[in-house]
Amino acid sequence: MSQFPAQKIPVLIASTLKPIRDVRAFEKLAFSLGETNTYELNIIGFSPKKPKSAPGIRFFSSMSHFDSRLDRILAQGRFLKCLLQVRPKILVCCTYELLPIASFFKSILGYRLVYDVQENYRANLDLNPALSDPARVRASKLIEKAEAVGGIDLFLLAEKCYRKEMPDKRPFLILENKFQGEISPSKPLNFQGKKEFRFCISGTITPAFGTIDAIQWFREILKSYPESRLEIIGHCPVESLWVELTQYDKEIPQLTLFIDRNPVSHDVLIAALEQADFALLPYRNHPAIAGKMPTKLFECAALGIPVLISANPIWEQFLSDFDGGTSMDFLNPSKAADQLRDALDQTYFTTLPPKSILWTTETPHLQQAFQNLFS
């Protein structure tokens, strides 16, 4: 017997490598749709163990071994099996890999097809140092071909900049990765007189996100504030970076490393952030990054955690409205201590961040867009 009322509209939210409880697919898209009591919700995604369904949501596993090429190929078959089992009226693909199958079976199963564009995947290829030029060209053509399939009824864009970067993706709805929760009440925050600090880097740990730059920066900070600590926590998919970070972990006692080859639970990442005095966003100045709004900016703003960011006009403007952080030159560690002293002279969160940083401001737009799919 189905756990859902027969009249509900079946929806399948599908990805390959994203966890089944991914913060965007599960906590944002699925929860927001569930509020309407209109949809039968199903999610297929990465799960190392056999997934257990949540109240009102069924889970299916696409992959259980993150680095397995064979498992990634087999994920296509598991997706098709899930598609035929659920027979959704709305299919949301959260990765380009599933679009060819989704497009082919659309006319057969009669669903509306939504593509949740979480990344500019072709631009992101330039962030991967392990790819050779021929491999990068092949991958780019593969992504281009997959994203060019017909029958996509709606594109959900996770970044405002994607409008210009991918003008062919229409009709579209911008749904930024804002914070799923409430703004934590906080008083103005300053660090005058404090001599030791906890810094945190969390999320996906890759070379382009400036993790090594931040470690060099932190080494200089230790000369003036030797009791400070840096925690690096998250998913580290690049083998060479894994090895390099492990070596730094052995050399620097004040560095705490918690990295995994599999995605790390969002709750664990948030818990680490909440223990920090400053979150670090040492992202490199790269075209694939510069126009984006990192999810951590929304999270730290809502949680009342000051951020130290690489110089970026978009991020600086965002933080300036409530004094949520300041910029650092992570590529110039010789100035690290002086820049941190300047940062310590500031008062943070002099006003509360605006409600616009919250996912709840996106929810009604998502709900209306899905309703419009059948109008």
CA distance 375 to 373: 6
* Residue 252: per-residue pLDDT: 97
Take residue 153 and report the two structure tokens written for it.
């009824």
189 lies in some domain: no
193 lies in some domain: no
* Residue 2: per-residue pLDDT: 46
* Residue 6: per-residue pLDDT: 57
* Residue 310 near residue 285 (C-beta atoms within 8 A): yes
338 and 229 housed in the same domain: yes
CA distance 278 to 199: 5
309 and 170 housed in the same domain: no
* Residue 67: per-residue pLDDT: 80
310 and 348 housed in the same domain: yes
223 and 325 housed in the same domain: yes
236 lies in some domain: yes
213 and 143 housed in the same domain: no
The pTM of the full predicted model, rounded to 2 decimals, is 0.94
Residue-wise pLDDT tens digits, 182-217: 999 888 999 988 999 999 999 999 888 999 999 999
Mean pLDDT of 112-139: 93
Q: Which residues of 13-39 are buried (b: 16+ CB within 10 A; e: fewer)?
A: bbbbbbbbbbbbbbbbbbbbbbeeeeb
186 lies in some domain: no
Smallest CA-to-CA distance from 121 within 85, 89, 81, 165 is with 165
21 and 154 housed in the same domain: yes
267 lies in some domain: yes
* Residue 4: per-residue pLDDT: 47
Mean pLDDT of 221-226: 97
Residue-wise pLDDT tens digits, 43-80: 999 998 888 878 889 999 999 888 888 999 999 999 99
191 lies in some domain: no
258 and 285 housed in the same domain: yes
30 and 149 housed in the same domain: yes
175 and 247 housed in the same domain: no
- Residue 358: DSSP 8-state: B
347 and 365 housed in the same domain: no
CA distance 91 to 207: 34
Angle CA(213)–CA(216)–CA(217) in degrees, nearest 5? Answer: 85
* Residue 264: per-residue pLDDT: 92
From the number of C-beta atoms within 10 Å of its C-beta (0-12, 13-18, 19+), residue 50 rates as: exposed
CA distance 229 to 196: 8
Q: What is the band of 291 on the pLDDT scale with cuts at 50, 70, 90?
A: very high
242 vs 69, 131, 264, 319, CA distance in Å?
19, 17, 15, 31
251 lies in some domain: yes
365 and 298 housed in the same domain: no
CA distance 264 to 116: 21
Q: Mean pLDDT for the chain?
A: 94
Q: Name the domain count of the chain.
A: 2
What's the CATH number where 271 sits? 3.40.50.2000
Any long-range contacts for 270-273 (C-beta under 8 Å, 24+ apart)? Answer: 270/299, 270/303, 272/200, 272/202, 272/231, 272/233, 273/200, 273/202, 273/299, 273/300, 273/303, 273/305
336 lies in some domain: yes
Residue-wise pLDDT tens digits, 22-39: 999 999 999 999 999 999
Domain that holds residue 363: 9-181+359-372
The region, left, alpha or beta by phi > 0 then psi within -120 to 50, assigned to residue 52 is: beta
* Residue 1: per-residue pLDDT: 39
Q: Residue 169: is its pLDDT beyond 50?
A: yes
219 and 159 housed in the same domain: no
Q: Residue 371: is its pLDDT beyond 80?
A: yes
Place of tokens 């008083």: 187
Mean pLDDT of 319-324: 96
Q: What is the band of 128 on the pLDDT scale with cuts at 50, 70, 90?
A: confident
